[in-house]
Amino acid sequence: MQTVVCENPGSLVLKNIDDPIPSPGKVLLKIKHVGICGTDLHAFAGNQPFFTYPRILGHELSAEVVDLNSYQGGNLKPGDEVVVIPYKHCGKCFACRKGKTNCCEKLSVFGVHEDGGMQQYFEYDPSLLLPAEGLLSREKAIVEPLCIGTHAVERAEPGPDSWVIISGCGPIGVGIIWAAQARTDRIIALDVDENRLNFCRKNLKVPYTVSVKEDVLDQIREITGGLMAQVVFDATGIKAPMEKAIDYLSPTGKYVLVGLNRGNLSFNHPSMHARELSVLCSRNATISDFENVIRRMQNREFPSSSYITHEENFRQIPQRFDFWKNPENQAMKVVTQWD
C-alpha cells in the first residue's frame, strides 16, 4: 500500500509499505480524507515540538471500516465511515481519571508521536472511532481541528457579555471563533493577513476585525468602549504576538494559549498581577468535544465548503506542501483525497 512519509525536515516522499497485519481488538480502516494541519507544516519545516523523524503524518482523518477482525462490541460494521480521534490515552493516569484524556501522561497523538493516517490502510482502536451520519467524508476530516477550538472555549467559558479576541485566524483560530460564537456575539478577530480577516467577515459573520498592521490597542479600546477583552485566545504560536496579546485583557481576564511555541514566553508580572489575570493552556480535545462538534456540523452550523479551500489527491502531497504553506495562496484548510 502507499503512504506519505516525512523522512526529514523538508523531505516528503511517497513510499510503498506492507499492508497492516490484523491485531486482536483492532479494526482495519481504509483512509478516505486527510486534512493538512499546521502541525504537519511545522514538522515539514523542522520546528514541531514532540516530533521525531521519519514519520507518517496525518491526524485529521476520515476513514471507512473495512474489517472488524475480532472486535464484536459497539455498532460498527464494514462500510461505515468514521471520524478518527487521534489522541491515544492510557485511561489510568491522574489526568485520564479526571476525564482530561487530552493531557494523558502517556498521550500518543496519531501522526505526531507515532505514524499516522497518511497511509491507505491502518488498524485502530474502535473506541476512538465516531460515526458522523450526514457528513461528507471530507467534512469528517475537519472535525478534529474544529475540536481544538471547541476545547479551548470550554476551558475559558466566556459569558454572553464577554468580549472575546481571537489572535490568529487560520484554521485553528476559525474553529475558536466558531465555538465562541455559541456563547457570545462580542467577537473580535485579529490577524496580520487581510485575506483571513475577510474570511471571518464573510463566512463567520464576525462583527469586528482588527489588523495588526494598525494600532491594535486603540482599535480594541474603541470596539469595546474601553472595557478591553474578558477572554483572549492565542492561535498564532508565535512569540511576539503571544507576548503582546496579554495587553488586550481587562481586569480579571483570561488568556488562553492554544498555539504552541517551542521557546520561553515573557510577560510583565506586575501588570498581570494588578489585573488578576488567569493564564490557561489548551491542549488537543476530548471525546465530548468531538461529539459536540459533530452534532453542530450535522446541524449545518459550520461553513464547511468555505473552510475547505483546497482538495487534492494524496499523490500530490510531496509537491504541494510549499504551495499550501505560502500565505499568498490563501489555503485556509487543505484536505487530501485517498480513494
From first to last of the 339 residues of the chain, give the pLDDT tens digit: 999 999 999 899 999 999 998 788 899 999 999 999 988 988 888 887 778 999 999 999 999 999 988 777 778 999 999 999 999 999 999 999 999 999 999 999 999 999 999 999 999 999 999 999 999 999 999 999 999 999 999 999 999 999 999 999 999 999 999 999 999 999 999 999 999 999 999 999 999 999 999 899 999 999 999 999 999 999 999 999 999 999 999 999 999 999 998 899 999 999 999 999 999 999 999 999 999 999 999 999 999 999 999 999 999 999 998 899 888 899 999 999 998
Domains of the chain: 2-141+303-337 (3.90.180.10), 149-281 (3.40.50.720)
Contacts of 127 (CB under 8 A, 6+ apart): none
Q: What are phi and psi of 249, to 5 degrees?
A: -90, 145
* Cα 334 from Cα 174, distance rounded (Å): 14
> For residue 253, what pLDDT is reported?
99
At 180 the three-state DSSP class reads: helix
2-8 vs 11-16, strand pairing mode: antiparallel
* Cα 171 from Cα 156, distance rounded (Å): 19
At 249 the three-state DSSP class reads: strand
Only one residue has cell 475577510, namely: 198
SS3 per residue for 126-172 = HHHEEECCCCCHHHHCCHHHHHHHHHHHHHHCCCCCCCEEEECCCHH
* Cα 82 from Cα 266, distance rounded (Å): 42
CB burial class (10 A; 0-12, 13-18, 19+) of residue 335? Answer: buried
At 28 the three-state DSSP class reads: strand
CA–CA distances in Å: residue 218 to residues 20, 180, 214, 222, 305: 57, 23, 9, 6, 35
> For residue 273, what pLDDT is reported?
98
The residues that bridge with 289 in the sheet, in sequence order, are: none
* Cα 35 from Cα 219, distance rounded (Å): 34
> For residue 71, what pLDDT is reported?
78
- pTM higher than the cut 0.85: yes
